[in-house]
Amino acid sequence: MGKPKIPKFSKEKEKKPAKKQFEPTTFEDFMEEGVELEEKGERYGDGDKSKRFYERASEMYAKAHELNKTDSDCLYNWGRVLFVLLQYLPKRSAPVDKLKLIDLSIQKFRQALAIDNKNADAMFNLGQALNTRAETVQDVDEIEDGYSQAALAVQEAISILEEAYALQEQELMPQLENMTIEEQPDEEEHSHDHDHSHETTTPDASTTVTEVIPTTAYTLIDTLVASANALSTMASMLANYEKAVDLFNSAQDKLKQAEKWLSQASRETEKDYQQAVIQIALQHAQTLALLADRSMTASGQVDDKTYTLALEKLDFVTSKVDSRHCEAMCDRGDLLSQYAQAKQQTFIRSGRKLDGDPSGKEVWQLYSQASKSFQEALQIEPKNNNILRKLGDISLVRAQLPMSVADKNKQQLLKNAEFYYKQVLESDKEDLYGAWLGWAMSSWAQGEWCQTPGKKGEAEKIIKMWIKRGGHDEIIQDAYEESDCYPKAFIDWVMTEFFADEDDSE
């Protein structure tokens, strides 16, 4: 989302008496405090303490705005913080709650652009927020025209990111030309003794001078990657397959353009260069994964070539750039799971059996590779509940595959799933949609399928604890519709044993 606009003030303003506890009172004070709180939030990562810093930063920008309603940078910073706070919402937050926060950030970016319509940073962030709105609004039950709203949002995102890119390129090109001129040898040595100092206008003590972060090749890369993401979102929504493919191709063209800028990027800070390489590769993999999924929907056939290309992008990150890049490992696990699921669906549609078919073995192998990828990620982030939950889910899916190899490994896979879900609940006992049901399912299946003594009774206790914490029948129904982890037999058992009285009373 970029960096906050950092206010710089005159020396006269900076000279403040020593104080035990600074209480902001002026516009400048609130802006400075907001930036400092943002920086603290970034340093503390993604925990509750970090969230509190960002929330306080939002409060500071709100107070600053009350004192100066025409400052574009204040609105820009405020919108950024609101958008950052999205990642701190609970995992199963209602889509409508997410949408409220997204729309607030969009409002601030629009206000910033109403004051300064050439603010490329605000355009960039507005584009990202609009794309996120497109991905979210379709899940809001209260909105009947979700698809139409999503289409409008992503179309605007694509347009405004194009505008931001044009402005950024316009800012960068003179810098590149100056660099080329400076590299030329001087024809005549500049040797004289006049003073090179020039008069500068000292700002008034109350004047705010915002630090201008220069546009670089990395700035353009960020915008091109965001454009590719928005184009991919739009392509996934289109009913017409040919038009969808055209948009996917446009997304890949943006990424090729980003790679060209990468060749001109400064490598003074190797970390920035490496991050840009990874950013392009991850988005390329995501675009290809969406294309493969769209091809499957259109043709009913698995697009092996596109899946392979996407996997190569992720393998490149972990083998050539950063062997401990957790996000790339998780993306690889998700992609392999998607690939396995696509192959499994072709067998179901054709009426063929997975067992004994060479192609059927690929399904097992792909799920195994996905599990391995998540296990490697877990070694880097052993307390990451999302990874633990994914490992539990894959274990349940593999245990249910109609294959002899799955039957041989069923009990161990169910024990693995149980272990991973219990790990999640050690730190998040409110995971009503994931770990509680996964733990109950793995215990129930050990009793029902493997005849392990006492496990069905244990599953009953787990469901009762889950209900006490707020679990209800709608969550069960949603879990069945949204996940491949829960077979109908398990859902029927839960509904009959624990919710039959509710059905009768209705």
Domain span at residue 77?
1-12+23-172
**Residue 313 pLDDT more than 80?**
yes
Q: Is 313 in the same domain as 239?
A: yes
pLDDT number for residue 202: 38
Split at pLDDT 50, 70, 90, the class of 206 is very low
To which residue do tokens 């020593």 refer? 18
Q: Is 221 in the same domain as 136?
A: no
On whether residue 189 sits in a domain, the answer given is no
365 vs 363: CA distance, rounded Å: 5
Integer CA distances (angstroms), 53 to 35, 83, 86, 93, in order: 10, 14, 14, 21
Domain boundary among 328, 352, 376: 352
**Residue 92 pLDDT more than 80?**
no
| Type of residue numbered 138 | Q
| Type of residue numbered 114 | A
Q: Which helix (H) or strand (E) holds 292?
A: helix 270-299
Split at pLDDT 50, 70, 90, the class of 6 is low
pLDDT number for residue 54: 97
Q: How are the residues of the chain apportioned to helix, strand and coil, as percentages rounded to the nearest 5?
A: 75, 0, 25
On whether residue 303 sits in a domain, the answer given is yes
On whether residue 110 sits in a domain, the answer given is yes
What φ, ψ does residue 322 adopt, rounded to 5°?
-150, 105
DSSP state for residue 200 in the 8-state scheme? -
Split at pLDDT 50, 70, 90, the class of 423 is very high
Q: Is 99 in the same domain as 242?
A: no
Split at pLDDT 50, 70, 90, the class of 285 is very high
Domain boundary among 352, 378, 406: 352
CB 313 within 8 A of CB 331: no
71 vs 282: CA distance, rounded Å: 36
173-199 per-position pLDDT tens digit: 887 766 554 544 444 444 444 444 333
On whether residue 246 sits in a domain, the answer given is yes
Q: Which helix (H) or strand (E) holds 8?
A: strand 7-9
**Residue 217 pLDDT more than 50?**
yes
Query: Which carries the bigger pLDDT value, residue 494 or residue 207?
Result: 494
Q: Which helix (H) or strand (E) holds 9?
A: strand 7-9
Region 260-274 average pLDDT:
90
Q: Is 121 in the same domain as 248?
A: no
Structure tokens at 281: 């590769």
On whether residue 268 sits in a domain, the answer given is yes
Provide, rounded to the nearest whole percent, the portion of the chain with pLDDT above 90. Answer: 77
Q: What is the CATH number of the domain that holds 243?
A: 1.25.40
Average pLDDT of the chain is 89
Q: Which residues contact 101 (CB under 8 A, 6 or more apart)?
A: 82, 83, 85, 86, 89
**Residue 19 pLDDT more than 60?**
no
Split at pLDDT 50, 70, 90, the class of 21 is low
**Residue 73 pLDDT more than 90?**
yes
pLDDT number for residue 200: 39
Length of the chain as a residue count = 506
On whether residue 160 sits in a domain, the answer given is yes
Region 43-54 average pLDDT:
88
Q: Is 260 in the same domain as 120?
A: no
Q: Is 146 in the same domain as 5?
A: yes
Provide, rounded to the nearest whole percent, the portion of the chain with pLDDT above 70. Answer: 88
How many domains in the chain?
2
437 vs 498: CA distance, rounded Å: 13
Q: Is 27 in the same domain as 154?
A: yes
Region 250-265 average pLDDT:
96
Q: Is 155 in the same domain as 302?
A: no
**Residue 15 pLDDT more than 70?**
no
Q: Is 325 in the same domain as 242?
A: yes
To which residue do tokens 């396995």 refer? 340
Q: Is 340 in the same domain as 254?
A: yes
Q: Which of 16-20, 21-25, 172-176, 247-251 has the lowest mean pLDDT?
A: 16-20
Query: Which carries the bigger pLDDT value, residue 491 or residue 45?
Result: 491
Integer CA distances (angstroms), 96 to 136, 431, 471, 481, in order: 8, 19, 20, 20
Beta bridge partners of 209: 8
361-413 per-position pLDDT tens digit: 999 999 999 999 999 999 999 999 999 999 999 999 999 999 999 999 999 99
On whether residue 406 sits in a domain, the answer given is no
Q: Is 142 in the same domain as 252?
A: no
Domain boundary among 308, 334, 352: 352
438-465 per-position pLDDT tens digit: 999 999 999 999 999 999 999 999 999 9
Q: What is the CATH number of the domain that holds 128?
A: 1.25.40.10
pLDDT number for residue 12: 35
Q: Is 94 in the same domain as 150?
A: yes
pLDDT number for residue 396: 98
Q: Which helix (H) or strand (E) holds 210?
A: strand 208-210
Split at pLDDT 50, 70, 90, the class of 2 is low
Q: Which residues contact 255 (CB under 8 A, 6 or more apart)?
A: 224, 225, 228, 280, 283, 284, 287
DSSP state for residue 485 in the 8-state scheme? S
Q: Give the CA radius of gyration of the chain.
A: 27
